[in-house]
């Protein structure tokens, strides 16, 4: 054995390594199978992880990439607050406090300690987006300014104690949500997922014994850590920086700066967010835990992206963010739209690392979920309706290829657009246009992906909310490539009057109004002069680039 630990052969180690990942997948399948809310079983807005007795990841399965490594941190933070003996056999603990778990209050983390022969041997953990946790608005508020407006806030709380349900807690949960039955259903789905993990881990311990599983765990973590250190050592040492800003916090008008410095030194990566905005009145804040997760996601995009994550991963990464900043928010900062800042952080991380890892990075993508939402009463059924749509956009080009057109943003999980046929059936509106936005990707040797245009015509009066970002910092190019176009939303009233807006809360509109949303393109990579004329011609034939832009930008005439 190379440098393994006595007690686990390479065979047992590999069987257990595969089994841990498979257990996480089974837990995920159990959660999705029994969840009540479509956000979980269709949107896959959830994550599960099987952890060891110290809270390190054994195996994980994610629907949302932004939750990377976060469940581990939730368990470790809970232990810091209450000690490891807080976790007793038969307990089920849940929490959603943004300043502990890091994300908005709708994301609820459930922790179940796993015991085997009287000993704590691990944890089943999961996180799922609950439909409604009792905030001032149904689901997410766009204009909240304090966390108290966003819903119930729970520190780590036992909802089962020693195997017995706490009926008072369950009752409190049920009474404080607009969809109480669904909430309880989703909680139980998470518990069922945890039980799947518990049974499977215990079965492995029965079969292989505690010492062997421990030894294999050490060896698995060791393998991952060796591979990670190797990959980090290959990055040239240096100090790498980048900055950019969000348009605003959704409430005020001022841009929200994000600034980062990365120090690579041997096999360590230190990310410092000093200089980023103080926490804002609007809800683009997050707890530090979620900042660490976002940094891990950015890191993962560059370092061994194809490998599973476990307790040996991320030891080379250190993250620091000043207290009371948007990345280390404190009470009472609002956190509903926390992911807009984190999306920018991830893009900037890649930008900073571009000089050191030119082949792995990509130019910036269009950057945010670009949400349009409207509600009103459907005159066909006289029932209330609520549309919430995220919009796809262009991704950045990279050293060997173009960016992808019309693809959902990085921090989103298993999003799929809503087909026009379903949309028009469900809602009193028509989609007049759904198209790739020609010429919106940044030019370059490799072209940035194009954004998306979606045009809605209201058949009934409705109130419109918008969250379109990244007009101040559109997707930048790299190595001489040009930036992509930013987003644009045009509202044309039935009288023909036009208005341009990017963020708004509950704006009343008349039937007949046409709303055209255009998401941004991705950045280009490399100088335009190096783009092959054949590729320009192909782009024109496929209408990704207009003949005019081909002539003006690339100097290629296509007839």
Measured from the CB atom, the residue of 87 and 366 that comes closer to another protein is 366
Q: Give Cα separations from 537 to 145, 221, 244 (angstroms).
A: 50, 50, 34
Q: State the burial class of residue 497 (Cβ atoms within 10 Å of its Cβ: 0-12, 13-18, 19+).
A: exposed
Cβ at position 481, least distance to another protein in Å: 15
Cβ at position 331, least distance to another protein in Å: 31
Cβ at position 393, least distance to another protein in Å: 9
Evaluate whether 73 touches 36 at the Cβ level (below 8 Å).
Answer: no
Strands 503-509 and 462-467: antiparallel
Per DSSP, helices labelled H in 338-454 are 338-353, 420-426
Nearest CA to 206 among 116, 90, 115, 122? 116
Measured from the CB atom, the residue of 154 and 467 that comes closer to another protein is 467
CA–CA–CA angle 243, 410, 519 (5° rounding): 80
Cα separation, 468 vs 367, in Å, equals: 10
Cβ at position 236, least distance to another protein in Å: 20
Cα separation, 292 vs 327, in Å, equals: 9
Measured from the CB atom, the residue of 377 and 431 that comes closer to another protein is 431
Q: State the burial class of residue 281 (Cβ atoms within 10 Å of its Cβ: 0-12, 13-18, 19+).
A: middle
Cβ at position 319, least distance to another protein in Å: 18
Measured from the CB atom, the residue of 81 and 532 that comes closer to another protein is 532
Cβ at position 191, least distance to another protein in Å: 12
Measured from the CB atom, the residue of 122 and 403 that comes closer to another protein is 403
Q: What is the DSSP letter of 393?
A: B
Measured from the CB atom, the residue of 233 and 400 that comes closer to another protein is 400
Cα separation, 276 vs 344, in Å, equals: 11
The CA-to-CA distance between both ends of the chain, in Å, stands at 66
Measured from the CB atom, the residue of 236 and 305 that comes closer to another protein is 305
Measured from the CB atom, the residue of 326 and 354 that comes closer to another protein is 354
Measured from the CB atom, the residue of 268 and 360 that comes closer to another protein is 360
**What residues have CB less than 8 Å from 141, skipping those under 6 apart?**
135, 149, 150, 283, 334, 336
Cβ at position 362, least distance to another protein in Å: 4
Cβ at position 485, least distance to another protein in Å: 17
Cβ at position 387, least distance to another protein in Å: 14
C-alpha 425: how far from its chain's center?
Answer: 29
Q: Give Cα separations from 535 to 443, 518, 553 (angstroms).
A: 12, 25, 13
Cβ at position 381, least distance to another protein in Å: 9
Cβ at position 170, least distance to another protein in Å: 16
Nearest CA to 56 among 218, 201, 202, 188? 218
Measured from the CB atom, the residue of 250 and 343 that comes closer to another protein is 343
Q: State the burial class of residue 247 (Cβ atoms within 10 Å of its Cβ: 0-12, 13-18, 19+).
A: buried
Helix (H, G, I), strand (E, B) or coil at 348: helix
Nearest CA to 103 among 313, 340, 415, 296? 340
User: In the numeric block, which tokens belong to residue 339?
Assistant: 């992911």
Q: Give Cα separations from 88 to 109, 124, 160, 168, 401 (angstroms).
A: 17, 13, 10, 20, 52
Measured from the CB atom, the residue of 219 and 368 that comes closer to another protein is 219
């Amino acid at each position: 054995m190379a440098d393994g630990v006595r007690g686990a052969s390479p065979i047992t180690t590999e069987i257990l390594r595969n089994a841990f990942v498979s257990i996480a997948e089974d837990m995920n399948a159990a959660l999705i199978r029994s969840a009540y809310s479509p956000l979980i079983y269709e949107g896959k807005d959830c994550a599960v992880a099987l952890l060891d007795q110290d809270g390190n990841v054994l195996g994980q399965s994610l629907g949302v990439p932004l939750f990377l490594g976060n469940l581990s941190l939730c368990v470790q933070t809970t232990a810091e607050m209450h000690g490891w003996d807080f976790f007793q056999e038969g307990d089920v603990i849940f929490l959603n406090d943004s300043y502990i778990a890091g994300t908005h209050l709708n994301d609820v983390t459930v922790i179940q300690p796993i015991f085997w022969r009287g000993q704590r041997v691990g944890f089943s953990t999961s996180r799922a987006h609950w439909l409604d946790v009792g905030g001032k608005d149904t689901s997410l508020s766009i204009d909240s300014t304090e966390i108290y407006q966003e819903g119930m806030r729970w520190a780590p709380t036992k909802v089962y104690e020693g195997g017995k349900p706490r009926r008072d807690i369950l009752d409190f949960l049920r009474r404080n949500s607009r969809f109480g039955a669904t909430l309880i259903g989703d909680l139980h789905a998470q518990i069922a997922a945890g039980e799947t993990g518990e049974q499977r881990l215990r079965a492995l311990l029965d079969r292989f014994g505690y010492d062997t599983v421990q030894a294999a765990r050490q060896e698995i973590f060791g393998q991952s850590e060796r591979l990670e250190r190797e990959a980090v050592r290959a990055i040239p040492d240096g100090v790498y920086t980048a900055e950019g800003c969000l348009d605003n916090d959704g409430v005020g008008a001022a841009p929200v700066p994000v600034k980062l410095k990365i120090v690579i030194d041997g096999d360590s990566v230190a990310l410092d967010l000093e200089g980023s905005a103080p926490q804002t009145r609007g809800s683009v804040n997050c707890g530090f835990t979620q900042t660490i997760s976002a940094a891990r996601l950015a890191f993962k995009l560059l370092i061994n992206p194809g490998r599973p994550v476990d307790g040996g991963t991320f030891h080379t990464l250190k993250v620091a963010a000043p207290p009371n900043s948007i990345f280390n928010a404190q009470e009472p900062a609002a956190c509903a739209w926390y992911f807009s800042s984190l999306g920018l952080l991830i893009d900037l991380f890649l930008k900073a690392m571009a000089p050191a890892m030119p082949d792995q990075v990509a130019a910036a993508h269009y950057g945010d979920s670009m949400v349009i939402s409207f509600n009103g009463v459907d005159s066909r059924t006289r029932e209330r309706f609520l549309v919430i749509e995220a919009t796809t956009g262009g991704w950045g080009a990279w050293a060997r290829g173009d960016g992808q057109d019309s693809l959902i943003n990085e921090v989103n999980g298993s999003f799929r657009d809503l087909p026009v046929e379903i949309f028009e059936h469900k809602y009193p509106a028509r989609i007049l246009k759904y198209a790739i936005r020609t010429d919106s990707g940044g030019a370059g040797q490799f072209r940035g992906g194009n954004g998306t245009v979606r045009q809605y015509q209201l058949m009934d009066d409705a109130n419109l909310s918008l969250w379109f970002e990244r007009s101040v910092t559109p997707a930048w190019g790299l190595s001489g490539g040009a930036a992509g176009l930013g987003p644009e939303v045009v509202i044309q009233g039935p009288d023909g009057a036009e208005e341009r807006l990017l963020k708004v809360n509950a704006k009343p509109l008349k039937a007949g109004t046409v709303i055209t949303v255009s998401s941004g393109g991705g950045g280009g990579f490399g100088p335009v002069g190096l783009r092959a004329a054949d590729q320009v011609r192909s782009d024109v034939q496929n209408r990704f680039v207009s003949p005019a832009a081909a002539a003006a930008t690339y100097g290629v005439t296509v007839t």
